[in-house]
Amino acid sequence: MSTDLSIMYGTAWKKDDTARLVKLAIQSGFTAIDTANQKKHYDEVLVGQALHEAFSQGAKREAFFIQTKFTTKDGQDHRLPYDPKADLKTQVRQSIDSSLEHLHTDYIDSFVLHGPHFRNRLVKEDLEVWQGIEEQFQAGKTKMIGCSNVSADQLRELATVAKVKPKMVQNRCYAQTGWDYEVRQICKEIGATYQGFSLLTANPHILNDRLVLDLAKRLNATAAQVIFKFAMSVGMLPLTGTTSEKHMLEDLKAKDLELTQSEVESIEKIMM
Ligand SMILES: NC(=O)c1ccc[n+]([C@@H]2O[C@H](COP(=O)([O-])OP(=O)(O)OC[C@H]3O[C@@H](n4cnc5c(N)ncnc54)[C@H](OP(=O)(O)O)[C@@H]3O)[C@@H](O)[C@H]2O)c1
């Protein structure tokens, strides 16, 4: 089994069904898994349970790409994975240490800042958290670091001031912004991979767009598969959080579809 980084399985909102669905995703062929140490939306312990079962059945740790996140207090409920009175860098360390335990591993592949405090600027607390994340990278607990829910300005600033640059950028991806065109361009400039989430749920109208439906018909595929293939074709690592085995297999197969360059460009400009 080798790592397939064409699409990533997202584990949010699955509650008590998390372990079953992550096991199903692994059996279906997903090797890249996204989670967060944030009980409000994720159950990292149950993600770890599914991984542990896979490891016990002979799967190699290095066959997986495991991503988790540090979530600041304002993104958490009362179930915090760190001491809220500790300084921010200590909170980051406590969070990743508990993620390592939850996920039955001694390293994370990608450790991501879940989101800055504000939508359009960075404050000193964000930079302190980032330094904490850099320290975990330097300590060898994660192979790369990244950020999520960032605007173009925030990403540009972070990439400028960071000692260790973000290698993963995870954003909600709306067709009406050219599929987050500006942030994707910055990712290219700084050598980061852009991860798009809510590709289907944030763009329901695109699934009924004539162009997408015609392409789906030609390729004998679904509109959802066309969107995922489009995302891959522009260099994105798409996320899917599907709860259906059929959709898991379809989402994994999207990479085998063939879109021409001009079809990709047409979808890219669909709302612009
Ligand atoms: N960084 C952040 O703040 C953040 C925020 C949100 C999400 N995320 C990450 O991104 C992951 C994915 O979230 P998401 O918002 O993209 O998706 P999602 O909320 O998990 O929803 C995916 C939707 O697409 C449907 N779907 C998937 N494949 C399909 C297919 N082939 N055909 C038809 N429908 C299909 C699913 O329905 P079925 O279940 O019926 O297939 C579901 O309704 C999360 O689990 C999480 O890991 C991160």
80-108 pLDDT, tens per residue? 999 999 999 999 999 999 999 999 999 99
CA–CA distance, 197 with 116 (Å, rounded to integer)? 17
| Ligand 1 atom having least distance to the Cα of 244 | 41
DSSP H/E element including 92: helix 88-102
CA–CA distance, 67 with 119 (Å, rounded to integer)? 23
> Mean pLDDT, the chain, as a whole number?
97
Residue corresponding to tokens 């312990």: 45
Token reading at 45: 């312990």
| Ligand 1 atom having least distance to the Cα of 223 | 32
> How do beta strands 108-113 and 65-70 pair?
parallel
Q: Residue 170: CB within 6 Å of ligand 1? A: yes
- Mutating to test ligand 1, I would choose from 18, 198, 252 the residue with most ligand atoms within 8 A of its C-beta, which is 198
Q: Alpha carbon of 261 to those of 4, 191, 233, 264: distances in Å? A: 23, 22, 8, 5
- Please give the backbone phi and psi of residue 59, each rounded to the nearest 5 degrees, phi first: -65, 140
pLDDT at 30 > cutoff 90: yes
pLDDT at 2 > cutoff 80: no
DSSP H/E element including 217: helix 210-219
CA of 9 to the centre of ligand 1 (A): 9
Token reading at 217: 């018909």
User: What band does 177 get if pLDDT is binned at 50, 70 and 90?
Assistant: very high
User: What band does 271 get if pLDDT is binned at 50, 70 and 90?
Assistant: confident
pLDDT at 272 > cutoff 70: no
Residue % of the chain over a pLDDT of 70:
99
128-154: pLDDT as tens digits: 999 999 999 999 999 999 999 999 999
What's the mean pLDDT in 246-252? Answer: 98
CA end-to-end span of the chain: 40
Nearest CA to ligand 1 atom 18: 241
What is the structure's pLDDT at 1? Answer: 63
Q: Residue 250: CB within 6 Å of ligand 1? A: yes
CA of 227 to the centre of ligand 1 (A): 13
pLDDT at 60 > cutoff 90: yes
Token reading at 220: 């004998």
Is domain 8-200 in CATH 3.20.20.100, yes or no?
yes
pTM over 0.85: yes
